[in-house]
């Protein structure tokens, strides 16, 4: 029996279609493998870069935390010093005011001598003592002395605040 020509043509066409289909399938499989390989390489490269970036971030965070800790310690030292100075200044002010109230400490100011006609000292000049240098000095009242000590203490507090502010700025700008 002979096979008709059209069947032979159909078989040849089917064989050619099967070969083309196999080649196409093999090409798709190879393309997919290549794509997967490239994707794996890309992901490996990206993972490596990400790991390096994370390590750098961690190193920088640790560095800046150490700097922040150092700055905090410096500012705490300034604050501690300032608080101690305030405590000592307050104690000194209280000691001076107590001395003024008890009469242990006296504040005197120099005054100009005034003489009335006839060469006699005025009553105000007579109430004042004369120092070794011959200059007249008058003692302040306890209330005036307390006011002046309090005012001087306030002025010293402002100076201490300014010094502390300058210390904070210096410490803040200093590098660890």
Between CA 134 and CA 110 the distance in angstroms is 11
Report CA 100 to chain centroid distance, whole Å: 43
* Three-state DSSP class for residue 111: strand
Average per-residue pLDDT for the chain: 86
Can you give the pLDDT at residue 124? 47
Can you give the pLDDT at residue 103? 86
> What burial class does residue 78 get, using C-beta atoms within 10 Å of its C-beta: 0-12 exposed, 13-18 middle, 19+ buried?
buried
Residue 125 has pLDDT above 50, yes or no: no
Write out pLDDT tens, residues 142-158: 889 999 999 999 999 99
The listed range with the strongest mean pLDDT (58-62, 115-119, 135-139, 146-150) is 58-62
Closest CA to 79 of 172, 167, 176, 14: 167
| Domain extents in the chain | 9-173
Residue 120 has pLDDT above 70, yes or no: no
Mean pLDDT throughout 2-11? 87
Question: CA 160, 164, 165 angle in degrees (round to 5)?
Answer: 120
Write out pLDDT tens, residues 10-31: 989 999 999 999 999 998 998 8
């Amino acid at each position: 029996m002979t096979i008709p020509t059209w069947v032979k043509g159909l078989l040849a066409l089917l064989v050619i279609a099967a070969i083309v289909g196999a080649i196409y399938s093999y090409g798709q499989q190879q393309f997919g493998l290549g794509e997967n390989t490239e994707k794996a390489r890309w992901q490996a490269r990206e993972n490596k870069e990400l790991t390096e970036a994370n390590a750098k971030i961690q190193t920088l965070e640790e560095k800046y935390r150490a700097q922040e800790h150092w700055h905090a310690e410096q500012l705490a030292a300034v604050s501690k010093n300032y608080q101690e100075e305030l405590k000592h200044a307050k104690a000194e002010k209280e000691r001076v005011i107590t001395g003024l109230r008890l009469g242990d400490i006296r504040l005197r100011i120099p005054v100009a001598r005034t003489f009335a006609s006839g060469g006699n000292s005025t009553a105000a000049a007579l109430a004042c003592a004369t120092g070794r240098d011959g200059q007249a000095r008058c003692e302040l009242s306890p209330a005036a002395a307390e006011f002046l000590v309090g005012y001087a203490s306030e002025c010293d507090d402002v100076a201490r605040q300014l010094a502390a502010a300058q210390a904070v700025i210096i410490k803040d700008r200093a590098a660890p």
